[in-house]
Homo-oligomer: A and B are copies of this chain.
């Protein structure tokens, strides 16, 4: 077993301290993210990853224990950053006393950190697909890593829209989440159908349009 097979091998930006041998582990992780984003979890074989990372297959099992643990490691590496960004976004939103303006800030706190993923790596596609897989319930990744911050957003939404029912809040939240995931997971269809007029790869532009539509949608009863 490796020296640091356990959770906290990659908690922050601590780099350079770990032995040079970590290099192979990191390479595997990066390649795995890439390949799984392309082929999905079930559709990816460890040998494909091993070949592209230029390591023997056995080394993957050595560092991560199992295919599923390798998968979870990707989430352990990426999720904390996103969650942190969201939390800060929510804190900033809470400082705004005008509820109407605060609403927009909350929506931004939900959308912006995630749409940004499209420009930095392939994790967005993995995330968007994992949330639609029934098997995700067993894996427990979302329950464990995202449910807490999801509840924070739901609370923040409720504060902005005090006269909305619980059901309305949840339908609204999932409408936003779904739209966002869809843009994150897009494989070029949007650009193709629009001849490039709309393109999630231009994520600032996409974020602005998304936020504008969603915020307006959320105000439909507040006004």
- Chain A interface residues toward B at CB < 8 A: 37-43, 125, 128-129, 131-137, 142, 147, 150-151, 154, 165-168, 170-172, 174-183, 185-190, 193-195, 197-198, 205-206, 209-210, 212-221
**In the complex, chain B residues whose CB is within 8 Å of the CB of A212:** 220-221
Q: Choose from B137, B165, B188 the contact partner of A137 (Cβ within 8 Å).
A: B188
Question: In the docked arrangement, what's the CA distance between A180 and B174, Å?
Answer: 10
Cβ-defined contact, B171 with A206, below 8 A: yes
Cβ-defined contact, A129 with B137, below 8 A: no
**In the complex, chain B residues whose CB is within 8 Å of the CB of A154:** 193
Question: In the docked arrangement, what's the CA distance between A198 and B210, Å?
Answer: 23
Cβ-defined contact, A40 with B42, below 8 A: yes
Q: Choose from B43, B174, B216 the contact partner of A182 (Cβ within 8 Å).
A: B174
Cβ-defined contact, A134 with B216, below 8 A: no
Cβ-defined contact, A125 with B134, below 8 A: yes
Question: In the docked arrangement, what's the CA distance between A119 and B4, Å?
Answer: 47
Central interface residue in A41, A170, A183, by most chain B CB within 10 Å? A170
Cβ-defined contact, B175 with A213, below 8 A: yes
**In the complex, chain B residues whose CB is within 8 Å of the CB of A172:** 209, 213
Chain B, Cβ-Cβ closest to A137: B187
**In the complex, chain B residues whose CB is within 8 Å of the CB of A187:** 132-134, 136-137
Chain B, Cβ-Cβ closest to A182: B178
Chain B, Cβ-Cβ closest to A146: B189
**In the complex, chain B residues whose CB is within 8 Å of the CB of A213:** 171-172, 175, 217-218, 220
